Amino acid sequence: MDVQKEYQSKLMSAEDAALLIESGDRVWMSCLQAPDDVLNALVARYRELENVQLNSCCLLSDQPFLKDPGTIGHIDYLTMFVMPPFERYYAPQGIFKVASVSFARLRYWLKEVCKINKAMTVVSPMDEDGYMYFGQQNASNMYYNCGIADKVIVQVNNNTFRIKGRDARIHVSQVDAIVEGDIPLMPYPMIPPSETDEKIADFIVPRIRDGSTLQIGIGGLANAVGYRLEGKKNLGVHTEMFTESMVHLAQKHVIKQKIISGFALGGTELYEYCSNNEMVNLWPLWDICDVNVIASYDNFVSINTCLMVDLTGQVASEGIGARPVACTGGATECVRGAVQSRGGQSFICLESTAKVKGETVSNIVFALPPATPVTVQRSDVQYIATEYGIADMYTQSIRDRALAMIGIAHPDFRDDLVRQAKEAKYIR
């Protein structure tokens, strides 16, 4: 096959490519880095369309279908993970749909619920063998979605890196439309650790053994832990999201095992590190979040954050009340896999208090507020960590759970938690 000839035969404008999307279509669009030229051309003609469902997550560009009720019934948006800045901000308006689906079940959701029949994504320039890579942010699901779609549209972006992995590229023969258009990478700013993050890290870091494999999320706490692991040896990474702190550890030769991740999120230095790096492998998210795969590692360490925990250990990570601020992701599977790993540890972390309308409130509560989703069941939880210590919750009685949670709550709220726990007969 003459791949250059094949490429040229499929090259077209963004406007012509967008015409491949028709009323009634179910479209998967690459997460985080959207094919902006094609997307803009599609949105420009939304009044011509009826009942198009656009599926994606973590959009880093503002779009009318996130906030304009006029798009409803024309282009409807469904996200599998709410993330700042735009989805989290607009979610309370209820214009788009949120599917809090576990990453481990994405294949079923994509094929049987979303019923994907079109796909559009950003790719790297084609290599000499005719392959285009999904890049630093799009490898998680794109190959599978392209496989189940009737039509595949790609936007070739010279700023997209070639990052290797499982199902991390697509051949020119597998696409139907090619649009050329460079898109600047949208850096995701690193959140500096707070004083509270540092205190929580003080409790966790000494427990991480040499040779451990890490799953760490994003944010100040992840950075507080990650950058403190310089003294460890022979660490590995198996995580949904690869971040700057992991690059730091790899460059310090602390990470010596292969880095396996669903996607990379950060700045240009992170993406440049991942590019053509044999140490970095991007896998589909359902493989990353397979409990059996996670459990197969010795000393697997899962570190995640949450918003609120009740006295029995029910974990709320997706929102408080009915307002979504995140989604399920891989939290449950990473927790379950870690505790099944030989020597494994699962830490769910939160600040003991939060500021709500200028008032300090406890994040450790007797009961979660109405409509608050439980992300991790109490029967799965192993360790809960705050700046006041670590509570061992795994398979404990309700009485012992309540006492342990009160012990890591902010001192100003402990008396009230004790009163509520006694009234409920949790404790004597």
DSSP annotation string for 160-212: -----BTT-EEEGGG-SEEEE--------PPPPPPHHHHHHHHHHGGGPPTT-
Q: What is the pLDDT of residue 191?
A: 84
Q: What is the pLDDT of residue 401?
A: 98
| Average pLDDT of the chain to the nearest whole number | 94
A 10 A CB-CB count for 336 gives: 24
Q: What is the pLDDT of residue 267?
A: 85
Phi, psi of 168 (to 5 degrees): -100, 5
pLDDT grade for 189, boundaries at 50, 70 and 90: confident
* Location of structure tokens 């590995």: 236
A 10 A CB-CB count for 180 gives: 16
pLDDT grade for 41, boundaries at 50, 70 and 90: very high
pLDDT grade for 95, boundaries at 50, 70 and 90: very high
- pLDDT tops 90 at residue 418: yes
> What is the C-alpha to C-alpha distance for residues 89 and 81, in angstroms, rounded to an integer?
13
Phi, psi of 358 (to 5 degrees): 85, -5
Average pLDDT over residues 332-361: 97
Does residue 216 contact residue 62 with C-beta atoms inside 8 Å? no
- pLDDT tops 80 at residue 43: yes
Q: Give the pLDDT confidence of 116-142 residue by residue, as tens digits.
A: 999 999 999 999 999 999 998 765 688
Residues labelled catalytic: 240
Give me the domains of the chain, ranges plus CATH numbers. 3-180 (3.40.1080.10), 195-423 (3.40.1080.20)
Percent of the chain with pLDDT over 70: 99
Q: Give the pLDDT confidence of 247-259 residue by residue, as tens digits.
A: 999 999 999 888 9
For the whole model, what pTM was predicted? 0.94
Q: Give the pLDDT confidence of 22-37 residue by residue, as tens digits.
A: 999 999 999 888 999 9
Does residue 338 contact residue 214 with C-beta atoms inside 8 Å? no
- pLDDT tops 90 at residue 188: no
Please name which of 402, 388, 399 lies closest in space to residue 314, comparing C-alpha atoms.
402
Q: Give the pLDDT confidence of 166-179 residue by residue, as tens digits.
A: 999 999 999 999 99
Q: What is the pLDDT of residue 138?
A: 65
* Location of structure tokens 């063998």: 129
Does residue 260 contact residue 164 with C-beta atoms inside 8 Å? no
Please name which of 32, 282, 31, 33 lies closest in space to residue 164, comparing C-alpha atoms.
282
Q: What is the pLDDT of residue 268?
A: 85
Strand, helix or coil for residue 119: strand
Does residue 318 contact residue 273 with C-beta atoms inside 8 Å? no
Q: What is the pLDDT of residue 139?
A: 58
Q: Give the pLDDT confidence of 353-410 residue by residue, as tens digits.
A: 999 999 999 999 999 999 999 999 999 999 999 999 999 999 999 999 999 999 999 9
